[in-house]
Chain A
Amino acid sequence: MQLTAHELAHVLFLNLSAKEEKTYRKSLGWDKNPDGTSKRAGKFVDQDGQDSVEEDFANNIESFLFEPERLKSVTPAAHEWILKHLSKDFGLKKDCADEKKQ
């Protein structure tokens, strides 16, 4: 389940508009260097997030869904970005009750 969420987060990143991607980069402090690399300072919920903005994004979405308090404490800017740009209702459903009603 957690793995699926992570993989879907990669798809979500691919579908961000250019502006949404820029707001994410800006909010978290991802800057481009002239040699083509990108870096940001601060803490990561998973160390492989340092490899790229894409991996950082997927890790943060996964953390938001499964360990939101940890994300809020480790990378609060990511928590705020997700709340602001996805939805305040973005999260896991407790059960399938919603689908049954429809």
Chain B
Amino acid sequence: MKKNSKCFPLLFLILLCACASQPKAPEKTISADLFDSIPLGDSDSNARKALGSPRETRLLQTGSRTQEVWLYDNQDSDHFQRAALAFDSNTHRLIAKTLIINEGEAERDLLFLKENKFPSTQFETIIFPQCRRDFFSQYALDVNIDKGIAIEFRRDSKQVESISWSSPQDLAARIERIRGCKQ
């Protein structure tokens, strides 16, 4: 009995530490600065520490590679999607990331975004081809393949929908899929 009473505080402390080390879902919407602080190549544990737990994870098969995709939402009343991270399922390293720009954010303006966030970066515009007989996309991409940056925007309003970072190879493959109507 005496032995048990000594063990109990220790057990309680261990349980408390276990609970404390579990990152929770983000309490605030992920800011662009916070998102920038997680570079490609970072580990999934670092990303979890910085951003908290994702709303959902899913496996995505691309060719022979399996990615684990983490999805994050805005922490407001609408709960629209805010971000997506992709980790190599073998190495657990970040291989691609996307930040979805919210209404009212300065980055929503394409010109502002390019001049302020990527002032020395040259972009090439990729127009989505008409892949279906009855429909064409209202979106386009401004890309810099060497830097692996893709800005998705609405062609009519020049409003930015999302910014993505990936390897040059993955971005080139994405553009090839778009041009070949394979996505």
A positions within 8 Å CB-CB of B: 6-7, 10, 14, 18-19, 22-23, 25-26, 31-37, 39, 52, 54-55, 58
Residues 116-172 of B at the A interface (beta carbon under 8 Å): 132, 134-135, 137-138, 150, 152, 154, 157, 159, 161-162, 164, 166, 170
The answer to whether A34 touches B81, judged by C-beta atoms less than 8 angstroms apart, is no
From the candidates A14, A34, A52, name the one contacting B97 in the complex (CB within 8 A).
A34
Q: B71 interface residue, CB < 8 Å from A? A: yes
Given A31-B84, A33-B60, residue A14 in contact with residue B96 (CB < 8 A): no
**CB of B73 to closest CB in A, whole Å:** 9
Task: Report chain B residues within 8 Å CB of A19.
Answer: 103
CB-based nearest B residue for A54: B135
B positions within 8 Å CB-CB of A: 56, 58, 60, 62, 67, 69, 71, 78-81, 84-86, 95-98, 100, 103, 132, 134-135, 137-138, 150, 152, 154, 157, 159, 161-162, 164, 166, 170, 174, 177-178, 183
The secondary structure that dominates the B interface is strand
The secondary structure that dominates the A interface is helix
The answer to whether A22 touches B78, judged by C-beta atoms less than 8 angstroms apart, is yes
Task: Report chain A residues within 8 Å CB of B164.
Answer: 34, 36
Task: Report chain B residues within 8 Å CB of A10.
Answer: 134-135
The answer for the CA separation of A6 and B132 in the assembled complex, in Å, is 13
Task: Report chain A residues within 8 Å CB of B178.
Answer: 36
From the candidates A14, A23, A35, A54, name the one contacting B174 in the complex (CB within 8 A).
A35
The answer for the CA separation of A64 and B169 in the assembled complex, in Å, is 42
Q: 4 closest Cβ contacts across the A-B interface?
A: A34-B96, A34-B86, A34-B98, A10-B135
The answer to whether B170 touches A35, judged by C-beta atoms less than 8 angstroms apart, is yes
**CB of B74 to closest CB in A, whole Å:** 10
Given A34-B98, A35-B170, residue A26 in contact with residue B60 (CB < 8 A): no
The answer for the CA separation of A7 and B136 in the assembled complex, in Å, is 11
Task: Report chain B residues within 8 Å CB of A33.
Answer: 60, 69, 84, 86, 98
The answer to whether A54 touches B137, judged by C-beta atoms less than 8 angstroms apart, is yes
The answer to whether B183 touches A34, judged by C-beta atoms less than 8 angstroms apart, is no
The answer for the CA separation of A52 and B138 in the assembled complex, in Å, is 13
Task: Report chain A residues within 8 Å CB of B56.
Answer: 31
From the candidates A6, A25, A55, name the one contacting B81 in the complex (CB within 8 A).
A25
